[in-house]
Amino acid sequence: MKLNNVIYNTQEISESKLLDIIKSNFKLTSRSLRVRLKELYPEKDISNIILDEYDLIQQKKSLLTKSQRDQILGFIGLCMIKMVKGNEKEDK
């Protein structure tokens, strides 16, 4: 499933909010992954790089190693959980 489909089909999830969470938590990824992503996409914003790479992983077109792909998948999952948990706190 493409990330855009998940974002647009879930009310509490917005792309801009996800991008903010990715940017604020990117330091949780490994240094080697950050360096590799900047090598592949030198002029793009890191949040957009992560989302683009996530889609490439889903399409099986990513140039990252298995370990790096796993980090991206786990990181996006973490960010999605943080976003949904943050919305629960706002609703209460």
34: closest CA among 17, 50, 54, 51? 50
Of 37 and 85, more confident: 37
> What pTM value is reported for the model?
0.77
For residue 4, what are the contacts with CB-CB under 8 A and spacing of at least 6? 15, 55
**Are the C-beta atoms of 54 and 78 separated by less than 8 Å?**
no
CA distance 9 to 18: 14
More reliable by pLDDT, 62 or 12? 62
Question: For 6-56, what is each residue's pLDDT tens digit?
Answer: 655 555 567 888 899 999 999 999 999 999 999 999 988 989 999 999 999
The SS3 call for residue 43 is coil
